[in-house]
């Protein structure tokens, strides 16, 4: 039987990951920042992977840390709600249930969620991850994020980030990368099985018919293919909005200037049209629009 993680360190990580701040987590949990840091190190040793990057501007989750946070958040929410019910329901929080594809959640949404919590401390966001199409008749969620054309008559949709496809790779010390798209024939292409045709679309736009668009390494999600690119395993076809931080901080580079804009085929925030919108959902929708507008001004350009 797989052992449970140490629960006190897990509690510290959940708070620090949700708030993206050691000091704020310490304040919420009535302990010292040193205690939070120490407990997070205990959890990292147990898991055998790093949860946070410690940066000058504060904390950021590693890809593994962000994925782990997304998976444990519903468990903490369920525990809080069960405890509240057992106590007679006297402690009431407003809960907003959101579902998102894992890559979008880890790469775009989770790093910004602390901003929503700061503006609306009385609203708990319960975030789950799945690549399955949204089905509000079967799922207990208030809204979700989905990749598609946005033509869903029964849903209220809000377009999010541009879906610009760009090849990305780790910078190579002392070596040059491909200078023209046709040179990708000698590179290892990294694919996401969730978006298996993206390389073919980009190579067609780049005028490189001699490159096999389906050769190379294939991963279950874009999240994994991006990490493989960061580790130097090949060239990934990325959605530019989801690798903007890696590009800005030099972990990834774009060897070519061509960005293929998929237009209306992108990520949308969606909720059922027949339901009356709650105050909590309206607040999240406004915050999301502001976050999208802010992110559009920081997109890095090609080398």
Beta bridge partners of 59: 54
3-state secondary structure of 298: coil
Give which of 34, 14, 13, 15 is closest to 24, Cα–Cα: 15
Whether 169 and 236 have beta carbons less than 8 Å apart is answered as yes
Number of C-beta neighbours around residue 181 at 10 A: 19
Contacts of 95 (CB under 8 A, 6+ apart): 77, 81, 123, 124, 126, 280
Cα distances from 267 to residues 109, 191, 193, 293, in angstroms, run 12, 19, 17, 14
Check the CA dihedral 194-243-150-135 and report its sign: positive
> What string of H, E and C letters represents the secondary structure of 171-191?
CCCCCCCCCCHHHHHHCCEEE
pLDDT value for 302? 42
State the pairing for strand pair 235-239/189-192.
parallel
Backbone angles phi, psi at 208, to 5 degrees: -125, 70
What is the three-class DSSP state of 127? strand
Q: At what angle do helices 279-295 and 110-119 cross, to 10 degrees?
A: 130
Residue with tokens 């040793």: 45
| Distance separating alpha carbons of residues 225 and 233, to the nearest angstrom | 9
Residue the block writes with tokens 């468990």: 75
For residues 242 and 112, is the Cβ–Cβ distance under 8 A? no
Round to whole Å and give the CA distance between 6 and 51: 15
Identify the bridge partners of residue 53 per DSSP, sorted by sequence position: 60
Q: What is the pTM of this model?
A: 0.73
Please give the pLDDT value at position 71: 86
Strands 189-192 and 217-219: parallel
Closest CA to 229 of 192, 182, 267: 192
Residue pLDDT tens, the chain, 303 long: 678 899 999 999 999 988 888 988 898 888 899 999 999 999 999 999 999 988 766 788 888 888 898 888 888 877 877 877 776 665 556 789 999 999 999 899 998 998 998 899 888 898 888 888 898 988 889 999 999 999 999 999 999 999 999 999 999 865 677 889 999 999 999 999 989 999 999 999 999 989 999 999 999 989 999 999 999 999 999 999 999 999 998 999 999 999 999 999 999 999 999 999 999 999 999 999 999 998 875 544 444
């Amino acid at each position: 039987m797989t052992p449970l993680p140490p629960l006190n360190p897990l509690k510290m990580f959940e708070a620090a990951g949700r708030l993206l701040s050691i000091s704020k987590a310490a304040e919420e949990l009535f302990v010292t920042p040193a205690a939070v840091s120490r407990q997070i190190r205990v959890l990292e040793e147990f898991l055998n992977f790093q949860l946070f990057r410690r940066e000058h501007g504060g904390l950021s989750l590693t890809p593994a840390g962000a994925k782990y946070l997304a998976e444990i958040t519903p468990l903490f929410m369920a525990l809080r709600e069960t405890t509240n019910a057992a106590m007679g329901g006297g402690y009431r929080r407003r809960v907003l249930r959101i579902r998102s594809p894992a890559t979008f959640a880890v790469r775009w949404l989770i790093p910004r969620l602390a901003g929503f919590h700061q503006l609306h401390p009385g609203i708990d966001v319960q975030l789950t991850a799945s690549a399955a199409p949204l089905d509000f008749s079967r799922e207990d969620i208030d809204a979700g994020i989905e990749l598609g054309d946005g033509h869903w008559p029964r849903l209220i949709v809000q377009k999010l980030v541009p879906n610009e496809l760009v090849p990305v790779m780790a910078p190579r010390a002392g070596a040059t990368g491909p200078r023209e798209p046709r040179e990708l024939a000698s590179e290892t292409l990294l694919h996401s099985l969730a978006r298996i045709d993206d390389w073919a679309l980009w190579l067609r736009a780049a005028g490189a018919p001699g490159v096999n668009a389906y050769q190379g390494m294939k991963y279950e999600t874009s999240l994994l293919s991006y990490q493989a690119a960061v580790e130097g395993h090949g060239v990934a076809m990325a959605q530019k909005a989801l690798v903007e931080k890696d590009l800005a901080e030099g972990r990834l580079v774009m060897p070519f200037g061509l960005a293929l804009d998929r237009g209306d085929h992108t990520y949308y925030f969606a909720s059922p049209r027949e339901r009356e919108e709650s105050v909590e959902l309206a607040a999240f929708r406004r915050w999301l629009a502001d976050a999208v507008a802010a992110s559009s001004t920081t997109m890095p350009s090609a080398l």
